[in-house]
A and B are shown apart, each in its own frame.
Chain A
Amino acid sequence: MTIRMAARVALAILLVAAGAAPAQGQGDSALSPTYGRRAPALRGIAVDVRMAEDFGLRPGSVVRLSGTPGVPGDSVQIAAVFERKADPAEVARREYRIRTHVGHLQALLGLDDRVDRFAVGVPDSVSVDSAVARINHVAFGFRAHKSSDVAVQSSRTFRVVERFHKAIGLITVVASAVFLLCLLLLSVEERRRDIAALRLMGISRGTVVRAIVLEAALVSVIGSVIGAGIGWISSLIVNAHFQQVYRTPLLFALLTPEIFAFATLTSLALGIGAGTVAAWRLVRTPPLTLLGR
């Protein structure tokens, strides 16, 4: 049996006007006696910003919290509103989140001294692996895992999306390469008379090829810069849209200098390759044939 706060707390939240007198504790789970000082009249909980917006909650608001639908539950006060983490694994999950004291939640759910998990810190001098091994050696009904292993497991969703994006990117690069080759081939062939004239004037094949390749490279770089501009504007739109859809600070699209450099170099390589192929096909043809004579 585990505790899932967001899921187990029913949507039985009854708003009381902010500043209203606290509920009398009728039906509330008993507060722990605090010797030497007064116990707080109401327990405090923290709610996520999405929930606060949707229910019009703010620090000081009083709500009722119940582990079972239809049961009055406890009166609690909103003590804080917290921002959700930009976690890709949670981005599509729509449930609300609250944070409360573990003892309070156990009381709400009628659980006796149970928790989902412990976070255990070890001194720098102790090997994490050996600590995990020792805990698991004596464990009964629970299991220790390294935080790094848990992180790897919980980021699987993100890694799948990353692989998918790479695959789509590969298809797009292939499409771009073919498109570029087609265009260069045609644009170079369209100027076959000019090239023939150059060749007949004594300009060497190499010079002609270099000129065409240089032109192709220039077109590729200019295209990359324009593409990066479009990409940057697109990323702003994508982020604005999806951050609003999922109500998360997570960045969905990001144009970094590394990505720009990769795109430009890929484009440059494709341009040079396509330019070379197109130019070479033309300079191999005798100039008079190019002129149609």
Chain B
Amino acid sequence: MKKTIPVLLLTAGGFIWLWQYEPTPHTETAVVAQAEAPAPAAGSATRTLTGTEVAAGRHGIVQVQVVLTDGSITEVQVLRAPATKPTEEALPTLREEALSAQSADIDTVSGATMTSEAYAESLQAALDAKGA
């Protein structure tokens, strides 16, 4: 058991680093390996160890599972991964959004603070006049 703990720490740490949007320092909780199954019978040497959840900075939680065969890691599974920050390029463009909003029947308009001077030509003025 003891020997597996540093391995798990390194594994989780490696994954966390991959998910960091920017490499900022982060605190990690200790990973404690827990045997999922009862101790294997003599002759069988495969064990599955699940690490505890580790906080990956401000990006979420990482949890990994490691399968050991004869003391060596044969499989690593990511059970929980943090949601990655969407890159700006992956977001829809304003043109697509605007087209769908133009025909909307609306009650009021939210926008950056509008001065009284700008009000006259605004959509809100038209709505206020319609309902007065």
Q: Do A and B truly interact?
A: no
